[in-house]
Amino acid sequence: MAILHASSSSDGPRTGWPLGDSLVNPGQHVAVCIGVKDSLGIERPTFEDPSVIETVDLTRFLFGLSDGSMIQTGEMKISGHEKSNLVKFLTGWIGKPPQMDGSWDYCEMVGQGAMLNVAHRVSRKGRTYADVQGIAGVIDQLAAQVPDASKFAVPDVAPPATEPQAQPVAQPVAQPVAQPVAQPAAPAPVQPPTQTTGNMFTPVTSNPDF
């Protein structure tokens, strides 16, 4: 995943990381990307008509700041359209439009520095949260201030509940099949011997010439 192809055409914990209730201060921050999370086949109401449900593929980026705090972007559709939020976001970060010929994976941005413009916003449910409103590359003079990505522990996302294992169905024990009692063989009929000279007897043999 995470590969863009050219195309012609708020904040949900299920598509991101559980970061708690702490807020990143608004303003400019030197940060480092520490995670990318794609969420495929997400059903949500459309912006134009909330009564209509759409199925979309979404992505988010997670950043670590110099004070040890973390912030994640909002949901962005995985789209290679030149006007999509994802393409605009990556263009602002790397300074040029991303490659969309299948040769570049935006997950490669993990470990790269970025300048973030953070603002506080209020959700429709009344919750205040920190939002990444802009991104740019880090200028050379601030490159030394980019945090070390290995210093951050990316929060684990709870795995889906596993279904109980099916118990094996007990198979009936096969009963041994009674073997028929062998009957004593009838004695073979005794062929009358052909008498020869003396007391010697030879068995009767068929003549192959007859």
- 121 in Cβ contact with 131 (< 8 Å): yes
CA nearest 39: which of 73, 8, 81?
73
CA nearest 89: which of 130, 69, 59?
59
- 75 in Cβ contact with 61 (< 8 Å): no
Q: What one-character DSSP code corresponds to residue 73?
A: -
pLDDT of residue 205: 41
Amino acid identity, position 33 = C
The backbone torsions φ and ψ at residue 62, rounded to the nearest 5 degrees and listed phi first, read -115, 135
Sheet strands (E) in the chain: 3-5, 27-45, 53-65, 70-72, 76-77, 101-105, 113-122, 128-136, 194-195, 201-202
Q: Residue ranges of the alpha helices (H) in the chain?
A: 85-94
Any idea which of 97-106, 107-116, 155-164 has the lowest mean pLDDT? 155-164
pLDDT band at 47 (very low <50, low <70, confident <90, very high): confident
pLDDT of residue 35: 96
Amino acid identity, position 133 = Q
Any idea which of 64-68, 97-101, 174-178 has the lowest mean pLDDT? 174-178
According to DSSP, the residues that pair with 134 across neighbouring strands are 117
Taking residues 26-41, what's their average pLDDT? Answer: 96
Taking residues 58-84, what's their average pLDDT? Answer: 95
Q: Please check the confidence at residue 209 and state whether its pLDDT lies above 50.
A: no
The two structure tokens encoding residue 147: 């945090």
pTM: 0.69
- 112 in Cβ contact with 32 (< 8 Å): yes
